[in-house]
Structure 1
Amino acid sequence: MAIPETQLETWTHVGAAAQSAATYQSIKGVIEHKDAPYSSRRIDSFLQGSYGNDTNVYGADSDVDIVLRTRGLLHYNIDALSGPEKTAFKTAYPTPAEYTLKSFRTDVIAWLDKQYGSDLDTSGKKALRLKANGTRRSSDILLVAPHKKYSRYYSEQDKECIEGVLFITTNGTEIVNYPKQHSENMTRKHQATAEWLKPTVRIFKNMRNRLIRDGKIKSGVAPSYFIEGMLYNVPVSEFGVSYANTVDKCWGWLNSPPDASALMCANGIHPLVRDNSHTSWPIQGYLDFLAETQKLWVQWK
């Protein structure tokens, strides 16, 4: 039998919003403090992930994802520019910034170690982690710089580009992402669906958590970011009436076709499903998640 509407409605509830907001405000006060050694590097911070996009659920989404950005440097991609445009760009930006993300990471670690001591974990490949302590939830702090991908450049007054953020993993891999576009697109789509989208995302995330608990899929196979992206692709017409109807119609649309290779992340820039990409969902992970959630739906007891 299908999962009852009462269970689906329970799964739509937002988890630990007040505590996550308090956690962010507490950490924000520390990482943006005027005495931090990097405070002059034009810094700001913002939430991303489940809490930032209002799709967090109870229990499993315990980490608060915080981005700490320095605008004291700029990364860019000018591959799409013509020869004259590249010359104009390099005239405007003749030398690289002296401050680097590596220096930024060193400064942030020194400051956070002073403030948090053993609660700071620097072993992560992508982000720094603060362990939970008292009412503070465990948090990941991703250190980024602006990244601009140019499609036109003749001067600072005559240019076109997409701005995202770039971070560097501990093994030196550079990854560009677009959290602002992701968040704005999710909000617009949520409004267009008469506010059915985000509760539906929470349902699918709770189904994922049940599948992990029951050993049907492994942790990490279906990241929240990609679940949001998957449902972002579903047309507005498939949402509404009831949660059961919405879930059923979302599956119907995702399985008949479309071609998974045509799906886009919610940022509208990266493909959603691709192998060998740091910013896309591996094909088998996507297929496994769809297959196992459908089994959970039809075999619910």
Structure 2
Amino acid sequence: MTLEEKLGGWTGPSSATEQDKQDRTERMIREAIKAHVAFNGCDLSVYAKGSYANNTNVKADSDVDIAVQCGEAVYWDEATEGAHPPSGSYTGFWTPAKLRSELETALEAKFPGQVDSSGSTAFRIHSGSARVDADVVPCFDYRYYFSSGNYREGAKVFKKNGNSLVNYPKQQLENGRAKNTRTKQYYKKAVRIMKRVENVMVAKGVHREVPSFFVECLVYNCPDSVFLAPTWTKTVEGIILHVWKELEGDEPSVESERWLEVSECKYLFHSAQDWNRQDGRDFVKAAWNYLGYAS
């Protein structure tokens, strides 16, 4: 059985119908925010992020991720004390709790009875006949100041329990596009193939579910040359072998040897992540066996 047959056909970008549903979902979320009176005059940036924005999602993972980023308050960290220029504290009313509350009201008005606010971070909007599922994340402008005084821009997300995390969606988008260009447009298709492998293995009970973003990061950390193999069978083999070999053992103590997320702004493996190095090895080992590569 060929690789294509094992996966039930190739996984390309979303179909025209699926793309229409995704675009309609994003448009309706934008309309909901624009129509909410409390947001008038508020510095808000609404944008797609994740697999949908990066064109690396597959049909089984075709939901839309939307960030609603507030620029009224800028959160920051610094590499060394004093790297951030002196400034006063924000005294406005756009706190994380206020942003979350108003966003929930705006979404409920547009999608009555379809907004799930039980999650720790995102609002889940359930799909309809003309829409796909969507996760809407409230967040704030964020800057990380280096010792030089330069800074890196990102988004700070506050969970309901007060904990927070920082994402870099712009850098993820740019780096994914750059790698796709360097690999003659093969990188993103390879990501979709590996996500399809994960979906099929879960459906068949071969392996546990692996986060889509984690799969994308594993593929991103493979050398560009892997994606230029003469066949897709060889490309997938190269991805599996590279991940298996490079993730053996403990996390390197040398920073330059550690794997990064696609944004290249955060390490892929650290104590706060939902996965570890062994999870990556377990996934590719299961893929190797399922796809029938020779031992």
TM above 0.5, yes or no, is yes
Task: Tell me which residue corresponds to 1:123.
Answer: 118
User: TM-score, normalization: structure 2?
Assistant: 0.88
Asked if the contact 2:73–2:140 (Cα under 8 Å) also holds between the matched residues in 1, the reply is: yes
Larger RCO of the pair (alpha carbons < 8 Å, separation 6+): 1
Q: Are residues 1:111 and 2:106 paired? A: yes
Map Cα deviations across residues 137-193 of structure 1 (whole Å, 9 max, x no partner).
11110111011110147xxxxx30111101111222110011111111011001100
* Structure-2 change in CA distance of 1:7 and 1:13 (3 Å): farther
Describe how 1:251-262 pairs up with structure 2 within 5 A: 251-257=240-246, 261=251, 262=258
What is the root-mean-square deviation of aligned Cα atoms in Å?
Answer: 2.2
> Is the deviation greater in 197-206 or in 289-298?
289-298
Runs (4+) off by over 6 Å: none
Cα distance in 1 for residues equivalent to 2:282 and 2:162: 30
Shift of 1:43: 0.7
Query: Partners of 2:37 and 2:112 in 1: how far apart?
Result: 15
Cα-to-partner distance string for 1:194-220 (whole Å, 9 max, x where unaligned) = 00001111110011001111223333x
Contact 1:14/1:57 (<8 A) preserved: yes
Q: Which whole-Å deviations, capped at 9, do the CAs of 1:116-153 have from their partners, x for residues lacking one?
A: 22111111111001111220111110111011110147
The correspondence for 2:211, drawn from 216, 223, 228, is 223
Q: Summarize the Cα distance change of 1:234–1:131 in structure 2 as closer, same or farther, 3 Å threshold.
A: same
Tell me: CA distance 1:6–1:212, structure 2 relative to 1, closer, same or farther (3 Å).
closer
The sequence identity of aligned pairs, in percent, is 26
Q: Which amino acid aligns with 1:116?
A: F
**Pair 1:287–1:255, CA change in 2 (3 A):** closer
- In structure 1, list runs of 5 or more residues that go unmatched: 154-158
Q: Which amino acid aligns with 2:134?
A: S
The amino acid across from 2:70 in the alignment is T
Contact 1:178/1:267 (<8 A) preserved:
yes
What is the alpha-carbon distance in structure 2 between the residues aligned to residue 48 and residue 237 of structure 1? Answer: 27
Which blocks of at least 5 consecutive residues in structure 2 are unaligned? Answer: 252-257
Q: d(CA) in 2 for partners of 1:38 and 1:102?
A: 14
Q: Check the 8 A contact 1:263/1:272 in 2, yes or no.
A: yes
Contact 1:8 1:243 (C-alpha < 8 Å) held by counterparts = no
1:1-301 alignment runs, 5 A limit: 3-5=2-4, 10-15=9-14, 16-33=18-35, 35-58=36-59, 60-78=60-78, 80-83=79-82, 85=83, 89-90=85-86, 93-98=87-92, 99-152=94-147, 159-219=149-209, 222-240=210-228, 241-257=230-246, 261=251, 262-274=258-270, 276-278=271-273, 281-298=275-292
Question: d(CA) in 2 for partners of 1:189 and 1:259?
Answer: 25
Using structure 1 for the length normalisation, give the TM-score.
0.86
Contact 1:5/1:243 (CA < 8 Å) preserved in 2?
A: no
Distance 2:27 2:235 in 1: 35
* Alpha-carbon shift at residue 61 of structure 1 (Å): 0.8
> CA offsets per residue over residues 13-62 of structure 1, 9 Å max, x none?
123223212221222222233x431232211211112211101112x113
